[in-house]
């Protein structure tokens, strides 16, 4: 069952009250005009192209699953793969600024050990337990890696080092994967750009004057540049799916409560789907990597996600397909995105119509005309997410690295005179949390419950909702400060605590990626990935930022 939510719904009064409150700081004070308006008006710097991938390293375009098989079958050495990724990173990172800290020499040594182990012979059991043996991976610096920095983008934590591996790192290593580097992230993780005062700002590989998204923007930028084989991410408000969208990649956010969070942004790892909307995920050039990688970080909870379920896409399509014209509201947006998305979905509907016709149902018949899905919850996406964020562990003390309560007004004053060690977006969020009203708990919980019951009741275990990713393509650097709620279509998935896969759908006339989210009821991750696989074939797959030299 396909539903497509297109009506741009927003609680306008609630959004405007917050927006006006935050932007009043900007417009009322000349220094803020200098801080914000100046970089935005300069078109955010020139576009610097990503160099094409050398033909000798063309295997970097293959899936991690394929690379692992080649290593196991002695068609490719782990050392050669690791060295190729390192060489590619060194080629593109001066343009992207995606790497926070590396462990290249150690990774090469570990790759050599893998090659020696394979040369001496692996048992079938050993091979089965290590499905990604010898394949290198990168991950956000918020994922604890023993002996490596754990700043989460905070200047006050610039000397902090992780004392042990996170559970996800442990599981990835047990699966045979090799940690190559930790990547950049936004200060305190939650923002639509990947920028902080420790490591600087990461650029979008499709246009270096634009954001790659956050908080896994560096991971998406590397993936879109053939500069990482596996990209381990996390998502509490779109942090996996947003960068995947802005950089033209696939990104899967699993059902929350199934991926162990110990050691990720100081989580303990005992969270359930009732405790959190945070989940680990992956960004990839290939849909086929997402299920096996998700199984690794889900561990003994992987069966709950039914990732091995066989999904007949024709039967899924045969039930219903909901679509409507785009009626985006409120956010600043590009008309071309709306027009192009409309064309994409008309094309998509036509392709599905052909499939349905083959099995006896003609969607062009007026009696079978699809109806769009609507619910009041889509009018309050940001407000619902904001409420459920108050139920997550409080991270406000991290603002000072646990050295007292942060003072929002004091930090604002410091920023005005250039003395704050924090990014403007972090101060803005602190001001919002300190001074602006929080959503009413009873209202938020009641609406969320009704929203889930209605949507998941309609979807059941055999339906998906096609949901817009954002009202704009990758935004220019700093411009997110003027439209801070444009991530709400990602955030609502977190508030609903359900799985969703970001799927690329080609590029616009400027070469910037377009895409859509595929959402399913909790524990129906296989449906999201099956539809993503179908769309991968129909719409050309990832939107890479460069070519492979011929």
Q: Which residues belong to the active site?
A: 140, 215, 239
Q: How far apart are CA 68 and CA 132, in angstroms?
A: 5
Q: Which of 114, 156, 151 is nearest to 135 (CA)?
A: 114
The pair of three-digit structure tokens given for residue 473, joined into one six-digit string? 């393509």
Residue count of the chain: 550
Question: Who's near 402: CB < 8 A, 6+ residues apart?
Answer: none
Question: Who's near 68: CB < 8 A, 6+ residues apart?
Answer: 131, 132, 133, 134, 135, 176
- Measured over the CA atoms of residue 534, residue 540, residue 546 and residue 549, the dihedral's sign is positive
Q: How far apart are CA 437 and CA 448, in angstroms?
A: 19
Q: How far apart are CA 509 and CA 388, in angstroms?
A: 38
The pair of three-digit structure tokens given for residue 396, joined into one six-digit string? 């406000």
Q: How far apart are CA 65 and CA 63, in angstroms?
A: 5
Q: How far apart are CA 410 and CA 101, in angstroms?
A: 31
H-only helix segments in 299-367: 313-319, 335-358
Q: How far apart are CA 512 and CA 334, in angstroms?
A: 12
Is the Cβ–Cβ distance between 167 and 263 less than 8 Å? yes
Q: Which of 346, 358, 340 is nearest to 321 (CA)?
A: 346
Burial group, residue 491, by CB count within 10 angstroms (0-12, 13-18, 19+): buried
Q: What angle do CA 498, 503, 508 make, to 5 degrees?
A: 140
């Amino acid at each position: 069952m396909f539903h497509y939510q297109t009506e741009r719904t927003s609680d306008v009064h609630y959004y405007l009250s917050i927006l006006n409150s935050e932007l009043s700081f900007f417009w009322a004070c000349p220094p803020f005009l200098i801080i914000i308006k100046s970089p935005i008006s300069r078109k955010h710097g020139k576009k610097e192209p990503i160099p094409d991938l050398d033909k000798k390293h063309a295997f970097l375009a293959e899936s991690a699953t394929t690379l692992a098989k080649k290593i196991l079958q002695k068609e490719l050495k782990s050392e050669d793969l690791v060295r190729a990724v390192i060489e590619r990173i060194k080629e593109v990172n001066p343009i992207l600024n995606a790497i926070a800290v590396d462990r290249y020499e150690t990774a090469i040594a570990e790759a050599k050990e893998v090659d020696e182990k394979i040369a001496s012979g692996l048992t079938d059991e050993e091979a089965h337990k290590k499905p990604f043996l010898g394949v290198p991976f990168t991950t956000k610096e918020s994922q604890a890696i023993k002996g490596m920095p754990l700043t989460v983008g905070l200047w006050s934590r610039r000397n902090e080092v992780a004392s042990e591996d996170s559970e996800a790192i442990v599981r990835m290593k047990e699966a045979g994967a090799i940690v190559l580097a930790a990547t950049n992230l936004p200060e305190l993780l939650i923002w639509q750009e990947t920028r902080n005062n420790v490591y600087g700002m990461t650029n979008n590989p499709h246009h270096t004057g634009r954001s790659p998204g956050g908080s896994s923007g560096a991971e998406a930028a590397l993936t879109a540049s053939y500069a990482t084989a596996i990209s381990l991410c996390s998502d509490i408000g779109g942090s996996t799916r947003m960068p995947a969208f802005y950089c033209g990649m696939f990104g899967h956010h699993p059902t929350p409560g199934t991926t162990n969070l110990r050691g990720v942004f100081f989580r303990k790892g005992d969270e359930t789907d009732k405790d959190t909307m945070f989940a680990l995920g992956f960004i990839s050039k290939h849909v086929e990597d997402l299920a096996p990688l998700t199984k690794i970080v889900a561990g003994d909870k992987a069966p709950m996600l039914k990732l091995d379920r066989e999904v007949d896409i024709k039967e899924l399509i045969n039930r219903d397909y909901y679509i409507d014209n785009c009626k985006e509201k409120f956010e600043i947006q590009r008309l071309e995105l709306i027009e192009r998305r409309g064309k994409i979905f008309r094309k998509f509907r036509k392709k599905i119509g052909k499939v349905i016709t083959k099995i006896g149902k003609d969607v062009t018949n007026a009696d079978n005309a699809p109806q769009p899905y609507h619910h009041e919850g889509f009018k309050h996406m940001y407000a619902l997410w904001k409420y459920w964020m108050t139920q997550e562990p409080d991270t406000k003390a991290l603002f000072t690295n646990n050295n007292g309560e942060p003072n929002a007004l004091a930090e604002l004053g410091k920023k005005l005179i250039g003395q704050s060690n924090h990014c403007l977006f972090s101060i803005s969020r602190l001001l919002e949390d300190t001074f602006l009203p929080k959503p009413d708990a009873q209202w938020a919980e009641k609406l969320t419950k009704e929203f889930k019951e209605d949507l998941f009741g309609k979807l059941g275990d055999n339906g998906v909702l096609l949901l817009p990713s954002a009202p704009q393509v990758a935004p220019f650097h700093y411009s997110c400060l003027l439209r801070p709620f444009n991530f709400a279509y990602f955030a609502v998935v977190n508030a609903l605590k359900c799985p969703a896969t970001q799927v690329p759908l080609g590029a616009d006339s400027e070469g910037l990626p377009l895409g859509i989210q595929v959402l399913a009821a909790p524990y129906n991750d296989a449906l999201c990935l099956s539809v993503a696989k179908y769309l991968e074939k129909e719409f050309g797959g990832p939107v890479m930022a460069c070519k492979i030299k011929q």
